[in-house]
Amino acid sequence: MTLLLIHLVATTAMAGLIWFVQVVHYPLFAAVGSDGFAAYEADHQRLTSYVVGPFMAVEGVSALLLAATEADAVGWPLILAGWVLLAVIHASTVLLQVPAHGQLSNGYDQRIADRLVKTNWIRTIGWSTRAVLAAVMVAAAG
């Protein structure tokens, strides 16, 4: 049960963080201004990694360990659904959000910022769904 709770905390933390980024942080990029945006973007990427990195690591490792320790308690369908969602989230991060941030590192571009907000819904919905799955796993193991 401890691993399930750790997984739930890490996953719900990521869900909360991604909602903040989606609704508040990314939309405010436009207010930064062109002059200082490249430096702002560099700081954004560096500082964000300090917050999300540990949660993402704990979430990923615990998602894998659930198969070894909790499969009988929660069932393979929930574990596999969680893995699929995590794969989609990470694919979106690598293929869509990281390249957009890379382009924004050169300076603010409204078109790229809009695309970042739009494609980030993949991660927002994915982590929100994973949070529900993690809660269902805890309840199932109850």
Per-residue pLDDT, 131: 98
How many Cβ atoms are within 10 Å of 69's Cβ, its own excluded?
A: 14
Q: What does pTM read for this prediction?
A: 0.92
Q: How many CB atoms lie within 10 A of CB 42?
A: 13
Q: What is the pLDDT of residue 32?
A: 92
- Write down the pLDDT at residue 142: 82
pLDDT at 34: 86
For the chain of 142 residues, list the mean pLDDT of each consecutive stretch of 10: 95 97 94 90 93 96 93 93 97 97 94 96 98 96 86
**Minimal CA–CA distance to 141: which of 72, 41, 84, 87?**
72
Residue 83 CA to residue 19 CA, distance in Å, equals 20
Structure token digits, residue 121: 């819904």
Residue 113 structural domain: 2-141
Q: How many domains does the chain have?
A: 1
Return all residues near 58 (Cβ < 8 A) that are at least 6 apart: 6, 7, 10
Q: What is the pLDDT of residue 61?
A: 96
Instruction: Give the model's pLDDT for residue 107.
Output: 93
